[in-house]
């Protein structure tokens, strides 16, 4: 069994990279953001505490689904901005399944990542539930143009232990300050060689 985990900071291109690796290896993708977006639309949230509860639930669902797939001997790509507190739970899932795991961790210059995050939100290409902090769905008259402050970005992501997420097995750290500079073909070869051992 083979598992690729794509983790790291937001706005580093995790989803894009997952799609590229899925094409190369033929593995399906499970992504926490997909789960959260369904929860935003079906449950919603009324404050930051409820939004964070949905995040905890989405993590649990992600690991439950990934564990079920791996338990049947199927390969998988899992995408999430896991933090250090999740390392033990993810490692337990890996140990139970007995799979070989490669973690691809994306990081970069935090100021560049913040600017990319804000620019992405301004384009409204992501589900608005990711942008709204205090409630979703929005109420009539709410300002739909939301932008995360640099301070909140630092508090939510830089200080949240994402860089300390660690698992057994192969880990590949990539600088995604400029995602177009990532050697995707080299990464695919590296992963393929590890799985072939």
Which tokens in the block code for residue 56? 């905890």
- The pLDDT of residue 146 is 74
> Three-state DSSP class for 41?
helix
What's the longest Cα–Cα distance across the chain?
A: 58
Identify whether the C-beta of residue 166 lies closer than 8 Å to the C-beta of residue 82.
no
pLDDT in tens, the chain (197 residues): 899 999 999 999 999 999 999 999 999 999 999 999 999 999 999 999 999 999 999 999 999 999 999 999 999 999 999 999 999 999 999 999 999 999 999 999 999 999 999 998 888 888 989 888 889 998 888 877 777 889 888 887 888 788 889 999 999 999 999 999 999 999 999 999 999 99
- For 128, other C-beta atoms within 10 Å of its C-beta total 15
3-state helix, strand, coil in the chain (%, to 5): 55, 15, 30
DSSP 139: P
- The pLDDT of residue 194 is 97
In what order do the strands lie in the sheet containing 29-31?
29-31, 76-79, 2-8, 100-107, 170-175
> Of 3.20.20.70, 3.20.170.30, 2.40.40.20, 3.40.50.300, which CATH number belongs to 2-196?
3.40.50.300
- The pLDDT of residue 143 is 78
CB hemisphere CA count around 43 (13 angstroms):
16
Which residue, among 176, 28, 30, has the nearest Cα to 104 in the 3D structure? 176
The pTM score is 0.93
For 133, phi then psi, to 5°, come to -100, -40
As a whole number of angstroms, the distance between CA 74 and CA 173 comes to 25
- List CB contacts of 84: < 8 A, sequence separation 6 or more: 161, 162, 164, 165, 166
């Amino acid at each position: 069994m083979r598992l690729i985990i794509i983790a790291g900071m937001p706005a580093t291109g995790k989803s894009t990279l997952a799609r590229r690796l899925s094409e190369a290896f033929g593995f399906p993708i499970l992504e926490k953001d997909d789960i959260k977006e369904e929860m935003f639309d079906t449950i919603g949230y009324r404050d930051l505490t409820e939004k964070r509860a949905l995040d905890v639930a989405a993590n649990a669902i992600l690991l439950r689904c990934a564990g079920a797939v791996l338990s049947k001997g199927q390969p998988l790509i899992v995408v999430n901005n896991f933090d250090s507190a999740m390392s033990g739970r993810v490692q337990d899932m890996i140990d139970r399944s007995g799979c070989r795991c490669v973690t691809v961790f994306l990081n970069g210059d935090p100021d560049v990542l913040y600017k990319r995050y804000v620019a992405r939100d301004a384009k409204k290409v992501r589900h608005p539930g990711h942008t709204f902090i205090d409630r979703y769905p929005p109420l009539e008259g709410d300002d739909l143009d939301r932008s995360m402050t640099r301070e909140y970005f630092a508090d939510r992501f830089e200080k949240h232990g994402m860089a300390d997420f660690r698992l057994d097995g192969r880990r590949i750290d990539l600088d995604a300050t400029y995602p177009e500079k990532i050697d995707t073909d080299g990464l695919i070869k590296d992963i393929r060689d590890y799985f072939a051992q």
